[in-house]
Structure 1
């Protein structure tokens, strides 16, 4: 059995909380450098949307309702 297969077998035997932590750390280790300009633009957009919800400019709807509307538009 290869070392990767052995590690996977051992990891799958861990309790779910430990597997979740391990998965999080593995995904984190795959993240690469982010374009700072792009990251700044996404943060600005997120803050703008947050502020629109907070000041009542935009009324959020539940995700299920949003998906239902999209499905209706696609039909």
Structure 2
């Protein structure tokens, strides 16, 4: 880690991380989608529109996994 960063107060370091994350999120919106990715997205959307299965929420799936451990 950059020693200068360690000298900053915790709240300021947290703010820097949040700002950095926000800037990454903004850049991600501009990433191009490849033809293969677009085809896969279209395939998944078509499958959803045919069966209407919305899947299950993450909490339910995680609980089931934990019960099996």
Q: TM-score range by the shorter chain?
A: 0.3 to 0.5
TM-score after normalising by structure 1: 0.41
TM-score after normalising by structure 2: 0.43
